[in-house]
Structure 1
Amino acid sequence: MLLDTPICDFGWKAPEFTLLDAHGQSHTMSHYLGERGLLIAFICNHCPFVKTVADRLAEDTKSLQQAGVKVLAVMSNDYHDVAEDSPDKMVEFADTHGFEFPYLVDETQEVGKAYNAVCTPDFFGFNARGELQYRGRLDDAKMRDATNRTPELLNAMLQIAETGLGPAEQVASMGCSIKWS
């Protein structure tokens, strides 16, 4: 089912969580909340929208990390029903696309629910105080050629890193619904 993310609820505080990555290493959200902000991306392996943007996401997040913005990705789908989203497949997907950020398994789906994540991809950009400042799309290319794209997420997160505030105008992300148990 195709869904759009809700409008950004500016100032909404990021709920704390601790999740394991597909290698079994523990990651706590607040440890990644740095002075330049934090991007949390709800993604999965099987969604055609995520597959289309995965290489661009890897490229843009490398730029963000070089600018001091921290990045986490969370997979909240019920992978027992969607085998392509299993932890082993997450490792393959991350390696294939060159992800340089932790890709976390939301086994209980509690994190996805706490964040009100609705689709993959669903991007949450927080400032240094853990206040939501961006909930938009990756870029304006959608499912088309990305040669002349505007990297909206990258630009927004760099603005948040500098000013603590996200852009007033944001375009919702679009993707597949999260597969709840």
Structure 2
Amino acid sequence: MVLTQSNMLPLGTELPNINLNNCKGSRYIQPQEDKSGFVVAFICNHCPYVINIKEVMSDILNKAVILNFEVVAINSNDWRSYPDDSPENMIIDVEKYNYNFPYLIDETQDTARAFLAECTPEFYVFNSEKKLTYRGRFDESTPGNGKEVNGKDLIEAIKSTKNNYKSDGDQIPSMGCNIKWKT
């Protein structure tokens, strides 16, 4: 594991097109209908930083779906070199953590590049006009630091976006395992 911080994609950036297969093989095409916003989470199965937040993350992202956000999780890791991130293991995570949102495979890693994603976990929130309002961390917890896993930063971003408020606080980059790029 290489500890990596996320890049800070400029606020106001247009939501990149997402057209990927989910872990069960079905094609996901980004919806065009009205949404309160969009939440994109770059995650994987094996990174300790993702494992640390999975239960709370699933709950928060499932609630965002109820708030009319389009939510997707994307695994951009080279799963052939890192079999813990295989589609079969992604399906296990979907069922174990009750994901009510698509868990997508970025086979070409082009989607991660479009977002300038560098690590897992990494979160992006876009408003109803598909403009970036938040990019950064889930909360201040990391494996072993003793901080509560609560999703505070992401919750605040979702609420602010839903209510068309500008975020008051600084946006702190996410930190986690580097995306496992194909060689």
Question: What TM-score do you get using the length of structure 2 for normalisation?
Answer: 0.90
- The one-letter amino acid of 2:116's match is N
Q: How does 1:6-17 map to 2 (within 5 A)?
A: 6-17=7-18
Equivalent residues of 1:137, 1:174 under 8 A apart: yes
Equivalent residues of 1:32, 1:38 under 8 A apart: no
Equivalent residues of 1:33, 1:130 under 8 A apart: no
Equivalent residues of 2:58, 2:99 under 8 A apart: yes
Equivalent residues of 1:127, 1:164 under 8 A apart: no
- Distance in 2 (CA, whole Å) between partners of 1:121 and 1:164 is 24
User: How many residues are matched?
Assistant: 180
Q: Structure 2: 5+ residue runs without aligned partners?
A: none
Equivalent residues of 2:20, 2:29 under 8 A apart: yes
Structure 1 pair 22/150, CA: closer, same or farther in 2 (3 Å)?
closer
Query: Which residue does 1:41 correspond to in 2?
Result: 41
1:129 aligns to what SS in structure 2? coil
Query: Which residue does 1:179 correspond to in 2?
Result: 180
Structure 1 pair 169/34, CA: closer, same or farther in 2 (3 Å)?
farther
- Distance in 2 (CA, whole Å) between partners of 1:131 and 1:166 is 14
Q: How does 1:130-149 map to 2 (within 5 A)?
A: 130-143=130-143, 144-145=145-146, 147=148, 149=150
- The one-letter amino acid of 2:176's match is G
Q: Structure 1: 5+ residue runs without aligned partners?
A: none
Give the CA deviation at 1:141.
2.5
More moved, 134-143 vs 118-127: 134-143
Query: Which residue does 2:59 correspond to in 1?
Result: 59
Query: Which residue does 2:106 correspond to in 1?
Result: 106
Query: Which residue does 1:83 correspond to in 2?
Result: 83
Equivalent residues of 1:75, 1:105 under 8 A apart: yes
- Distance in 1 (CA, whole Å) between partners of 2:85 and 2:150 is 28
More moved, 153-162 vs 59-68: 59-68
Question: What TM-score do you get using the length of structure 1 for normalisation?
Answer: 0.91
- The one-letter amino acid of 1:77's match is N
- Distance in 1 (CA, whole Å) between partners of 2:74 and 2:26 is 14
- Distance in 1 (CA, whole Å) between partners of 2:108 and 2:149 is 39
1:8-57 deviation per Cα after TM superposition (whole angstroms, max 9, x unaligned): 5110111112101011111122x077431000001100111001111110
After superposition, the CA RMSD in angstroms is 1.9
Equivalent residues of 2:56, 2:149 under 8 A apart: no
Give the CA deviation at 1:163.
0.4
1:116-161 deviation per Cα after TM superposition (whole angstroms, max 9, x unaligned): 1100011111111111111121112232456574611011111101
